[in-house]
Amino acid sequence: MLTIKKKKYMFVCIVVILVSYSVTSIVFPFNNECRDAASYKYGASGAIVTQIQTKLKNWGYYKGNVDGKFGYNTYLAVKAFQGKNGLKSDGIAGDSTLAALGINQAPASTSKYSGNSQELMLLARLINGEARGEPYEGQVAVGSVVINRTRDPRFPSTIAGVIYAPGAFTATVDGQINAKIEQNSINAARDALNGWDPSGGAFYYFNPAKTTNAWIWSRPLIKIIGKHRFCR
């Protein structure tokens, strides 16, 4: 049998546990947004932020540049979107907001390419030569085409192999791959390498105003971004 002293000790322990739980619940409320595996807010950057900006810009909430940087204008756009869609209007893109935007997030810490590696810079030069002046989404899509080809047995298995395959890209033929590189091209290459594929899995793209290749028109169209048609 338990002694009176032991009973008092157990009672005190239970009270301490209950008080600790209550304080924790008050100080750290566990709503859905707080349980998000990863959330994107002011100061964040990367591929997911670029997707957030692109979606919001397409739907008229965001008026700024799609640059992958979560600044004040992005914050206001996210808040406006949340308010219109019955979400907590806090300007933070957590699981619920990303789901409403139709974005499948990967944890922010999984980004593989953060520096200016040789592979990244080669892809950036190709994007710069092929899609300089195109919408940012279209620049990322050009990079995605290169990456998609590396995963298909019909093409070389490396980025350099795909880019320098004979006649594969106009930029390697006319020398535009060596043009002065723009920061947007580097950002687009990084986003493509980190998994964003606005091309929808395309293996080809072309500018209808410039191509003289009849075969390319036979490829099934996936989407049009800027002046480029992206195809399978």
Same domain, 104 and 135: no
Mean pLDDT, each 10-residue run in order, the chain (232 residues): 57 51 37 52 88 90 91 94 90 89 58 67 97 94 96 93 95 95 94 90 94 90 95 94
Asked if residue 97 and residue 125 are part of one domain, the reply reads: no
Q: Are residues 98 and 126 in the same domain?
A: no
- Do 154 and 132 reside in the same domain of the chain? yes
How many separate domains does the chain show?
Answer: 2
Quote the pLDDT of residue 113: 52
**CA–CA gap between residue 69 and residue 71 (Å, rounded):** 6
Instruction: For residues 98 and 148, state if they share a domain.
Output: no
Q: Do residues 57 and 159 both lie within one domain? A: no
52: in domain: yes
CATH of the domain at 38: 1.10.101.10
Q: Which domain covers residue 137, as residue numbers?
A: 118-231
* Per-residue pLDDT at 27: 36
Give a yes or no: residue 80 inside a domain: yes
Q: What is the pLDDT of residue 93?
A: 93
Written in H, E and C, the secondary structure of the chain is: CCCHHHHHHHHHHHHHHHHHHHHHHHHCCCCCHHHCCCCECCCCECHHHHHHHHHHHHCCCCCCCCCCECCHHHHHHHHHHHHHCCCCCCCCECHHHHHHHCCCCCCHHHCCCCCCCHHHHHHHHHHHHHHCCCCHHHHHHHHHHHHHHHCCCCCCCCHHHHHCCCCCCHHHHHCHHHCCCCHHHHHHHHHHHCCCCCCCCCCEEECCCCCCCCHHHHCCEEEEECCEEEEC
pTM above 0.85, yes or no: no
What is the distance, to the nearest Å, from the Cα of residue 168 to the centroid of all Cα atoms in its chain? Answer: 26
Question: The domain spanning residue 126 has which CATH number?
Answer: 1.10.10.2520
- Considering the domain architecture, whether residues 162 and 90 belong to the same structural domain is answered as no
Q: Are 57 and 146 contained in the same domain?
A: no
